[in-house]
A = this chain, B = another copy of it.
Amino acid sequence: MKKYTHNNNSLTIANLQEKVYLKGWVAKKRNLGGLVFVDLRDRFGITQLVIKPDNKYYELALNLKSEYVIEAKGTVIERESKNNQLKTGEIEILVEELVLLNDAKQIPIAVSYDDNSLEETRLKYRYLDLRRPQQQRYLIKRNEITQAIRKELLRQGFYEFETPILGKSTPEGARDFLVPSRLYHGQYYALPQSPQIYKQLYMVAGFEKYFQIAKCFRDEDLRSDRQLEFTQVDIEASFVSEEDIIKLTEDILRTTFKTVLNIDVRVPFKRLTYQEALRKYGSDKPDLRYNLELFDYDKKLNIDFLEAKVVRFLKVENGAKLSRKELAELTDTAKKNHGEGLAFLKCETDKLTGSLSKYFNYETAVKDFKLNVGDLLLVGFADQYEKASISLGAVRKELAAKLNLIQADQFEFLWVVDFPLFEYSEHQQRLVARHHPFTSAKKDADFTGPLTEILANAYDVVINGYEIGGGSIRIHNSNEQQKMFKLLGLEEKTIKERFGFLIEALSYGTPPHGGIALGLDRLVMIMTNTLNIRDVIAFPKTQNARDLMMGSPNYVDLEQELELGLKKGNKDE
């Protein structure tokens, strides 16, 4: 690969008169006063070539089209009209030799920053979409972020180990992808939802410090920030406490932000307990780039429709300017997020307005809520404290967008700790593990009282309102693990079939251990400032779970299905 002398983002006025040998794609071709100018693009940048009419390759140059692949030899000369947008903008290459390496049909999407094709078209031609400099940047940054994380973990003595993709179905949590076995018809492997159990077995095996950039799979309906397969930085360590894992994660994020974005992240991160986060921000992953704290009012409200409701408050400075329409949207948001409604109070020069104005005395309200003229007081309510909080939390988030409270390039890191061990699943109508069934309870947990009040050794790391990682200290005692499965309502037989090996493994001298998993895709999204997860994945699926480029999933040959026992019959029928 030494053949070429420079990449297309390296030549400057310092290289004048040098003989150079370049290659790349024709990004643009112009014909000006008899001269042919070519913008030659590679993964680094653009260099301008110029071909004169007396050149024997002039004819070839005239016939070049966008995205043709060429190589060129020539001499670096100074440009007449400089382009200070480009690093190479002061020079151009006077071409002496030109070779066409491959031609290109008319390109169906524009390979430039400002392509406006439908996402569907861009995904179908993903290999062309990825030629766009912006898209290249997403993946190149993704690699830089991955390497920075790896470097820190290796520096701290972690081993990078693999775990199987063909695993076992243990249907706790999301749906498994199944892989039919050819040798054992009717039996299946399952793709891992995470390497959770494998990494715990690495701890049982005594490796003490493990990590992996791991592919994980969940057969769930896709939301805008979800994919069928995703990548997590999977970490586990033995003989550690919650503080150790928190410190390690801070080290990883601090060095990664410094290496990749040259941003100094202050450590330790802020911390909130789950209860505090709910109380102050109505969320278990609050965005701390803006304030807007929820609060309670300790006076009795004499408001008929709020009788028997839990009522929570949010004061928005200068929020009175929000339009009727915007307030209606906020009300919708509250209702979509477990709230029963949203009432409000606007503080004007000498009176209150808004749906609650008739219930409040001006002076009392101004004093109690510390209202200034132009402020807005939002009142959320529901039948439970958690629901009222969450509904106002969602309103808070939307307010930040409506009021432009978020500055670009601002990163706010937060730990949320002391999560409940269990939560009630309305969907499954039973108690489920909030984190996962391998999470340990706090040391002094009281299992004789209400289980939902038990706190876990579980922690989430949050950036700008996105949960980018979560972990826990695990159960390392065999009996405790068995008890946990029983509390979750699993029958003895099911426990044995699904998790018997784990319960046995824990009985042979398992060290205390814990870990965390960071969502790499989401971290890259945050660090590259995109809201579309498909931007940071080279070959993503659509929200309909399809690969539009290759066309998968697809029908297969009957012979394949017969071999797997998925269809009965004779292939020659």
Contact = CB atoms under 8 A, between A and B. Distances in A.
Interface of A: 1, 3-4, 23, 25-26, 41-43, 67-69, 71, 101-105, 107, 125-128, 130-131, 136, 139-140, 142-143, 146-147, 154, 159-169, 171, 175-184, 186-191, 197-198, 201-202, 204-208, 215, 217, 219, 228-229, 231, 237, 239-240, 244, 248, 476-477, 497, 501, 505, 507-512, 537-539, 541, 544-545, 547, 549-557, 560-561, 563-564, 566
A538 B206 CA distance: 13
14 contacts: A67-B509, A69-B511, A102-B510, A105-B507, A127-B205, A127-B508, A130-B205, A140-B159, A168-B552, A169-B556, A175-B182, A187-B552, A187-B553, A497-B551
A165 B198 CA distance: 19
A551 B184 CA distance: 13
Q: Considering the complex of A and B, which 10 residue pairs feature the smallest CB-CB distances, nearest first?
A: A104-B509, A130-B205, A67-B509, A168-B552, A187-B553, A181-B553, A127-B204, A168-B550, A127-B201, A127-B205
State the number of copies, please.
Answer: 2
Given A1-B239, A1-B248, A125-B508, 14 more contacts: A101-B511, A107-B509, A127-B201, A130-B202, A139-B159, A142-B161, A162-B537, A166-B541, A171-B556, A178-B180, A178-B560, A188-B553, A189-B553, A198-B539
B538 A161 contact: yes
A169 B511 CA distance: 43
B549 A501 contact: yes
Given A171-B560, A182-B175, A67 B508 contact: yes
B102 A476 contact: yes
A186 B184 CA distance: 20
B166 A228 contact: yes
A180 B189 CA distance: 12
A554 B69 contact: no
Contact of A555 (B105, B187, B505): B187
Chain A, interface SS category? loop
Contact of A215 (B165, B201, B554, B555): B165
Given A131-B206, A239-B1, A552-B168, A512 B566 contact: no
Contacts of A187: 552-555
Contacts of A25: 206, 509, 511
Contacts of A477: 102
A102 B207 contact: no
Contacts of A188: 552-556
B166 A229 contact: yes
A552 B178 contact: no
A4 B239 contact: yes
Given A201-B127, A555-B186, A191 B179 contact: yes
A205 B128 contact: yes
Contact of A512 (B102, B244, B544): B102
